[in-house]
Structure 1
């Protein structure tokens, strides 16, 4: 009886794992499928978890085979786990000692505050003296008032953007003067592009919040395209995009934004020793643990910088990110 049950379980794990792994592999390779339906977008969010169905399939082989073949299957299981799961390991410990930024560098704190519910005290603490600008998504009138009461507008006296009762408000706060030069039209949420100057260096800084998959694949795709069109004229300069892109790096929209190399993710896999490890930013504070990194920092081709630092802010379902970039020249 036990042998029969293990035999059946082996088949279930093997076939189920292979089917799920095949589906994720197809979604990873044929990204245009993501634009067909929101369910496919949601399924593609699990591409970084490809190791799970592969591991289940390998375990199925262990249960199905006998003798030396079982030993071979067990070895395969360990190999699959080692090769496919390493990006899921926690990021290395970071030093809290301050790093000296190069002249003209720009440090930005970005946070989706989830309908203005984020902890203002924590956000204010994160916006230390090293931060030059703050990019806020889902800015509401109440949250704007909370920031004013906390004195953040005194430290960051320049701002552009909007506060809305829904999730659509986006705002940039800066220590140096800001000039709004463009914004997307017809998108679900506000996406803004502004300029500011630090130590004589002109920066183009965008706060991004594109449509989530649940509003439909068409809007999800169109919003990302609108952001790409907004920043396209400035990719040869000092350009930085931060915010909630509602897509992981493997999604079609992110692939399109970075396809020609004019924009690149500062958290891309393989960016230096010990970098590029998987750090999900959503959903935080829910029964389901975070599994998707949808908050990003994209830099233009003339910009360099280390991977972002991700911080947890109570009251919001997104992790905040901190990034410092410098002109490459």
Structure 2
């Protein structure tokens, strides 16, 4: 019903109202159906679609609204499409909240990773996590020379004296710290993205373990091509080498590039124990963390006992701690 400028009202024809009622469920469900198709088939291309894909868990929840609308308007075809859409998004997302893996037997390996935001992360908070969880390896991103000095002065040099560092006065610095001897692998990762040092950890009780400090460029603008190249550059898990990838991947499990990496013999530790939907960025902001881009990715032969996520003042990333079991 419309208002008449001369006075009175204009009655909207029933035919027009009927057309709008029929079109409304389609208008609501179509964007979610397109999202589901892109997610399932890995069709995201370019910077903006790649960034948007990180909020797929929220799209999965939101897809219930057009389903309800289609059902209320008794549009069978739109309802059927909405059911398929919600199911596709739900099956893509919900398994991360239900851990199904068994840790198995072997040697324990504890890994802690944190993006330090240009070295500004609170050193005392990081050291509190190190002392509480006693990690065998600490993987740091955006590590500056000043942060290395501050960490060592706070006691890290005594607790984790072995390291492979590529610290810089920028976002590009990274570094691995370890309790046990750590031998650098300078040629393992091609120079794509920020510094991503790697090393062979002499873990007691068996074969050494390779550890990679992960930090590709974020998929912003033209950097999306370097981001894809970085994720493709990690070697596949194979043979006798057990490899752990830990850091700020700037990627979620809803990215096709990330899923391709996992299909090359890896698994996401948090996903294995029902913590795959725990967000890690942005932390310490007015809004709570909303997306999960920091990961501990392990060889598929590695067991996962537990994964936890922790706030660290001074940085926009949350720390991720993983308790692993490495086969002997």
- TM beyond 0.5: yes
Which residues in structure 2 correspond to 1:164-183 (within 5 Å)?
Answer: 164-183=168-187
* Deviation of 1:103 (Å): 6.3
Once the two structures are superposed, what CA deviation does each residue of 1:219-244 show, in whole Å capped at 9, x if it has no partner? 11111112x23xx3766432211111
Structure 1 residue 13 displacement after superposition: 6.7
Cα-to-partner distance string for 1:18-49 (whole Å, 9 max, x where unaligned): 12211211221221x33x31011012112222
Q: Does the Cα contact within 8 Å between 1:176 and 1:197 map onto a contact in 2?
A: yes
SS at match of 1:253: helix
Q: What is the CA distance between 1:288 and its match in structure 2?
A: 3.9
Report matched runs for 1:1-329 at 5 Å: 14-31=25-42, 33-34=43-44, 36-61=45-70, 64=73, 84=90, 104-128=107-131, 130-183=134-187, 184-201=189-206, 202-214=208-220, 215-226=222-233, 228-229=234-235, 232=236, 236-260=240-264, 262-268=265-271, 271=272, 275-329=274-328
CA contact (8 A) 1:7 1:63 kept: no
SS of 1:127's partner is: helix
TM-score by length of 1: 0.79
Q: Secondary structure at 2:257's aligned position in 1?
A: helix
Moved more, 302-311 or 137-146: 302-311
Contact kept in structure 1, 2:54 and 2:251, CA below 8 Å = yes
Write the distance in 1 (CA, Å) between the matches of 2:21 and 2:162: 62
Unaligned runs of 5+ in 2: 3-11, 99-103
Q: Is the 8 A contact 2:29 2:67 kept in 1?
A: no
What is the aligned residue count? 301
Q: Return 5+ residue gaps in structure 1 as ranges.
A: 93-100
Aligned CA-pair RMSD: 3.5
1:104–1:24 distance in 2 versus 1, CA, 3 Å: same
TM-aligned CA deviation for residue 91 of structure 1 = 7.0
Give SS of 2:107's match: coil
TM-score by length of 2: 0.79
Conservation of the 8 A alpha-carbon contact between 2:296 and 2:322: yes
Cα distance between partner residues in 1 of 2:156 and 2:65: 50
Deviation at 1:176, TM superposition (A): 1.1
CA contact (8 A) 2:140 2:176 kept: yes
CA change 1:257–1:177 in 2 (3 A) is same
Worse overlay, 216-225 or 42-51: 42-51
Q: Is the 8 A contact 1:17 1:53 kept in 2?
A: no
Deviation at 1:12, TM superposition (A): 8.6
Distance 1:257 1:267, change over 3 A: same
Larger C-alpha radius of gyration, 1 or 2? 2
**1:242-290 deviation per Cα after TM superposition (whole angstroms, max 9, x unaligned):** 1111111121211111124x1111223xx46xx2551111111224432
Of 300-309 and 139-148, the range deviating more from structure 2: 300-309
Distance 1:91 1:324 in 2: 18
Contact 1:112 1:138 in 2 (8 A): yes
Is contact 2:275-2:307 (8 Å) kept? no
Contact residue 206 and residue 241 of structure 1 kept, 8 A: yes
CA contact under 8 A between 1:13 and 1:59: conserved in structure 2?
A: no
Q: 1:89 and 1:258 mapped to 2: Cα distance?
A: 15
**Matched residues in 2 for 1:237 and 1:90: separation?**
27
